[in-house]
Amino acid sequence: MDETIINFRTKNWVKKEFFKLCKDQNTNATSLLNTYMREVLTENGVTIPSPTKSVETNEQVSADWRDELVTRSF
């Protein structure tokens, strides 16, 4: 899976409250932020490519499964 790291600044209280929300929803910040970014892109007419399934490693299959599970819960 092609991935990147994003760094950004936010207030400390925002980070703490967001992480509490993640814990309450039994998920993590990465999953929620990925879901949010995909929703914003879709709302603005950007086509989201489907994950490639040609040559998958066990790590990629696990990552796709978690991502799909979190996406379905919203």
Structure confidence at residue 2 (pLDDT): 77
Structure confidence at residue 65 (pLDDT): 61
Its pTM stands at: 0.60
Structure confidence at residue 49 (pLDDT): 84
Q: What backbone phi and psi angles, to 5 degrees, belong to 65?
A: -60, -45
How far apart CA 59 and CA 71 sit, in angstroms, is: 18
Q: What is the pLDDT of residues 9-65, one digit of tens each?
A: 999 999 999 999 999 999 999 999 999 999 999 999 999 887 666 555 555 555 666
